[in-house]
Amino acid sequence: MPMGMGPGWGRGRGRKRKMRMIGFIPQVRHFYPALPPVGQPKPPIFMTYEEFEALRLVDYEGLTQEEAGKKMGVSRGTVWRALSSARKKVAQMLVEGRELIILPQGNEIPKNAGEEEL
């Protein structure tokens, strides 16, 4: 067996995803057009909590990508990629009249985990 190809080799690409700090878990996670689609409906668009959080921090809260990255515990580049993806999905939802579903990926940590239930 070649060097580096022991148990666990080839089980995925790159490194394990870093945990993301999420300051706000959306209460409303499903948006859909008011009118039914004409013809065959297109599949829903799925947005992650990470994308939602980047959109919320930069576009809603007015933070810079650098500040948002610090709050989320990731680099500015990661925030930029999540923000670009989220903006494209929102535009696609509005233009194409598709439903949008916001789902966790499993690598998010709520910042105030115990405080939300008070």
Q: What structural domains and CATH numbers belong to the chain?
A: 49-103 (1.10.10)
pTM of the model: 0.74
- Nearest one of 14, 44, 48 to 32, comparing CA atoms: 44
Q: Which helix (H) or strand (E) holds 21?
A: strand 20-22
* Backbone phi, psi, residue 92, to 5°: -60, -40
What is the model's pLDDT at position 1?
43
Give the confidence band of 118 by pLDDT, cuts at 50, 70, 90: very low
Largest pairwise CA distance in the chain:
59
pLDDT for residue 11 is more than 90: no
Tokens of 96: 């194409």
Q: pLDDT tens across 44-77, in order?
A: 999 999 999 999 999 999 999 999 999 999 999 9
116 confidence band (pLDDT: 50, 70, 90):
very low
Residue 91 structure tokens: 């535009």
pLDDT digits (tens, 9 = 90+) for 14-45: 766 677 788 878 888 899 888 877 788 889 99
Q: How far is CA 78 from CA 31, 41, 70, 89, in A?
A: 25, 32, 11, 17
DSSP assignment of 25-39: --S--EE--SSPPSS
